[in-house]
Structure 1
Amino acid sequence: MQLTMPGADKRKLLVIGGNGFVGRQVCKYAVRSGKFAVTSLSRRGECPKPNDPELASVTWVAGNALDKPTVDKYVGQSDAVVHAIGLLFDVNSGLTFLNTFTSASKSKPDEGESTYDNITRKTALLAIAALKAKNALPAMMGKRAPFGFVSCAESGWPDVQFGEQVEAAAPEWLKRYLVAKRAVEAELASSTGSLRPVIVRPSLIWDWKKFDVLPIIPFFNLASAIGVPFVDKTVRVEDVGRSIVAGLLDESVSGVQRFEAMEQLSEALEVPR
């Protein structure tokens, strides 16, 4: 797999939500690759680890990803975009207190605004529209700009045995979560004429410090290993970040990437772990 790009100039990468659990790994490995000048757009616009030399080299900007002029400005300055913002429990879930434990950035949902539809669907669709508009310029004709999106394994339930039955029994908050993820996937699938979507679908994402998911990882991995069709193997957050960066660089990568593809892309990225 060829992951090098012609030209000495770095491409400009915008990571929407670069201070989050996955976003900061995308930023780190994009910087480490030497191929990108990275900007992160988030509400606070602060580096999550100022002492990390790679994260410190990212340009951190504060802004609302629901604000069209803000999104248009920063996407318009970029050659590639990764959408890595999201929340597991929105303001309508009744479980917002759990975000304190599940969010790596310790972000707290804003009352009224922090719904799955706003945080996932609307922000992503604004970014997709902005990148498509830039790619429609004469200088970009014939090129497909890469757009990375962090979806979830459960988004693919309708395509696997027993998946629809499992989803029918899922709580309402999870169903709304999946509606938002699938809406973004559908928009990207219909935009392949001008964009190259890199859609990663991890199940549980973990590292050794994420104590909220460590106890259940063996159960997911065992279920996946014995062939339970609606359960995917868990993926380390470093591999999710590496796979997105590899997908941005490799022009042959397009569409949905499940855990096997994410692991292969992560291995193929020729930068140190």
Structure 2
Amino acid sequence: MLSESVSAAAICPSLTASLAAQRRCTWRHGVLKKVSTAQQRGNPTTFCAKRTPATLSSPKPMCPTPLVKKSSSKLRATSKAAEAPSSKKILVLGGTGYVGSEVCRIALSRGYSVVSVSRRGLVEGSDQLKGVDWRKGDVVADPAIVAHILSEGGFDGVMHAIGMLLESDANKFASGSGSVPTPGSTYDQVTRQTALAAASAFSAACEGTDASSPPPFVFVSAAEAGWTQDPPVPFLVSYLKAKRAVEDELLNNYGASNKFRPVILRPSLVYSMDRTASLPAVGAFFLGNMLKLPGIDRPVLVETLAKAALKAMEDESVAGVQNFEAMEDLAAAL
């Protein structure tokens, strides 16, 4: 639900209680195929990434069991032996944000070459992000910046982690990074327009590449994008509408074209232990998930989410929607 925030439940106290009223989604794991938006909401499409390497263009049998439970040990064993991909070059959109900055940090530690965009240009104050090649620009105001950067060539993948929880200055308090949106920004502009502009630019940049090994495009969505009912909190209606629109386009358009490999990460509440204000909400979500309350996914550590994103980039068999269990397994395999 709140991939941009670790403190949303503190700002909207009714949110945690309201989640219990939602119907649980029926999760099935199958192949990536052309489906309607309504179908994706009720039955998220997930690749059997850890059972059989799959391409986006060829159907595979339905998985009889959840994605991560049966195959985690094998994935971990093979992945631990792999060396860090020191030659990889990636573009991280939202690199100054809560999730994006963690992706940048871990990618640098693994030897990646990381390019990101900031409205301020060079980002100061973080030794862990000094290795990032920062480009000055506002992706929300001018999405064409992404095409300009990708035209340089040499990129092995793109990560989209741009987002906001509240359409106002209050996002500064709701966001895990304390970011303030561009004045007048909407969920559609910040999420859908930037993601699809980046996808279009990356697709064009991938022309002529090996279709049997399409490069990854990772999008941070939300667990609640799979809900079949409208959310109980009004602001989530527009928030999830933008997330679902991106998912639909990535899976049904770009995934079918095989220009790149779309990976959809669907975390619920994203947190870290150093942000104590969010921990009561995190505890409530953990309890709700343990009690199997409808619509409540287990919270995801921001480090786990970032590691899962990078592992998904490195593992060519991973594509489609990844729930919290899949993300935990991917992170453990990095």
Corresponding residue SS for 1:90: coil
SS of the residue 1:213 aligns to: helix
Where does residue 148 of structure 1 map in the other structure? Answer: 218
- Residue aligning to 2:187: 116
Q: Is the 8 A contact 2:84 2:110 kept in 1?
A: no
2:132 maps to 58
Instruction: Please name the residue that 1:178 is paired with.
Output: 240
In structure 2, the residue matched to 1:90 is 167
Deviations 1:110-131 (A, max 9, x none): 222x110000000000000001
Alpha-carbon offset, residue 65 of structure 1: 1.2
Q: Could you tell me how far apart the structure 1 residues matched to 2:93 and 2:84 are?
A: 25
Alpha-carbon distance in structure 1 between the residues aligned to 2:85 and 2:296:
42
Q: Which stretch of structure 1 is more off in the superposition, 208-217 or 186-195?
A: 208-217
SS of equivalent to 2:144: helix
Secondary structure (helix, strand or coil) at the match of 1:40 reads strand
1:103 aligned onto 2:175: yes
User: Secondary structure in 2 aligned to 1:221?
Assistant: helix
Residue 208 (structure 1) shift? 1.8
Gaps of 5+ in 1: 159-163
Query: 1:140-190: CA deviations, max 9, x gaps?
Result: 4544120111111111112xxxxx1xx25331x210000000011111102
Shift of 1:5: 7.6
- 2:120/2:137 contact within 8 Å kept: yes
Using the aligned pairs only, state the percent identity: 41
Name the CA distance, whole Å, in 2 between partners of 1:243 and 1:47. Answer: 24
Q: Does 1:226 align with 2:291?
A: yes
List runs of 5+ in structure 2 lacking aligned partners.
1-74
Query: Within 2, Cα distance between the matches of 1:101 and 1:83?
Result: 22
Partner residue of 2:146? 71
SS in 1 for 2:121: coil
Show the counterpart of 1:161. Answer: none
Return the alpha-carbon distance in structure 2 between the equivalents of residues 7 and 59 of structure 1. Answer: 19
Residue pair 1:204, 1:213 contacting (<8 A) in 2 also: no
Provide the rounded CA distance (Å) in 2 between the counterparts of 1:248 and 1:8: 10
1:203 matched to 2:268? yes
The root-mean-square deviation of aligned C-alpha atoms, in Å, is 2.1
CA–CA separation in structure 2 for the residues paired with 1:6 and 1:267? 15
Provide the residue aligned with 2:202 in structure 1: 131
Q: Give 2:180's aligned amino acid.
A: K
2: CA distance, partners of 1:122 / 1:5: 36
Q: Secondary structure at the match of 1:31?
A: helix
Give the distance between the partners of 2:109 and 2:84, measured in 1 at CA. 17
Amino acid at match of 1:80: G
Write the distance in 1 (CA, Å) between the matches of 2:330 and 2:86.
Answer: 23
Q: Does the 8 Å contact 2:213/2:316 carry over to 1?
A: no
Q: 1:48 to 1:180 in 2, by over 3 A?
A: farther
User: Would you say how many aligned residue pairs link Structure 1 and Structure 2?
Assistant: 251
* Superimposed CA distance per residue, residues 44-70 of structure 1 (whole angstroms, 9 cap, x where no aligned partner): 234364322xx1111111112142431
Q: Is the 8 A contact 2:144 2:197 kept in 1?
A: no
Structure 2 CA distance for partners of 1:250 and 1:168, relative to 1, 3 Å: closer
Task: Give the match's secondary structure for 2:296.
Answer: coil
| TM-score, structure 1 as length reference | 0.85
